[in-house]
Chains A and B, each alone.
Chain A
Amino acid sequence: AQKVTQAQTEISVVEKEDVTLDCVYETRDTTYYLFWYKQPPSGELVFLIRRNSFDEQNEISGRYSWNFQKSTSSFNFTITASQVVDSAVYFCALSEAPSGGYQKVTFGTGTKLQVIP
């Protein structure tokens, strides 16, 4: 069975600080996808990134960067120079290889980030 652990329940940082959100996953599959979603106070889910298990290259998108390490089953997310608008709940998620032709996404419990001005 697949599992996603986000050990940090809540994090508070002061604006302009860097912050890293941890994500550790468990899966028996060799083929899988990892995701990060942002859920702002308004409640919708905003897709941030998808990474497949064969691509361990780190990715940077503006102030966001992701570090994928298969050796430690981790997919951590760093926000550089945080801003108040980054305040949200962030979810890490895992999708294993399709079983029966479809995939179920397993979400972590989320990390609530508060950026203080």
Chain B
Amino acid sequence: NAGVMQNPRHLVRRRGQEARLRCSPMKGHSHVYWYRQLPEEGLKFMVYLQKENIIDESGMPKERFSAEFPKEGPSILRIQQVVRGDSAAYFCASSSRQGFNEQYFGPGTRLTVT
């Protein structure tokens, strides 16, 4: 399966814990996007990364959230000291190059904060 992979698919964290969400882009893709879907809402852009670079993080909350896409390995979305409002589905998408190029979405990670 050469699709975008995300893990875990479901993640439960207590308030104050850290959440780490992983995204492995499609083979050959070096551009990764993260989106968040709050309950009953559409997806909202969070951050765009290329290998080792954050290009646009205009949609990321200013505190507690960070993202990386290292030279080797998956992209990581990290949420520190989670709160109930962070409960959402987090989708990752990848594309093969810049410009107008289709983004392929992963299955999402559903984060529940208890």
Contacts and interface: CB of A to CB of B under 8 A. Distances in A.
Contacts of A97: 100
Contact of B42 (A101, A104, A110): A110
Most buried by B among A33, A52, A102: A102
Chain B contact residues: helix, strand, loop or mixed: strand
Interface stretch (B12-20, B60-68, B76-84, B101-109): B101-109
Interface residues on A, range: 20 to 34
21 contacts: A44-B108, A45-B43, A45-B91, A47-B102, A47-B105, A91-B42, A93-B43, A95-B100, A98-B98, A98-B100, A102-B48, A102-B55, A104-B33, A104-B56, A105-B33, A105-B35, A105-B45, A105-B93, A109-B41, A109-B42, A110-B42
Interface of B: 31, 33, 35, 41-45, 48, 55-56, 59, 89, 91, 93, 98-105, 107-108, 110
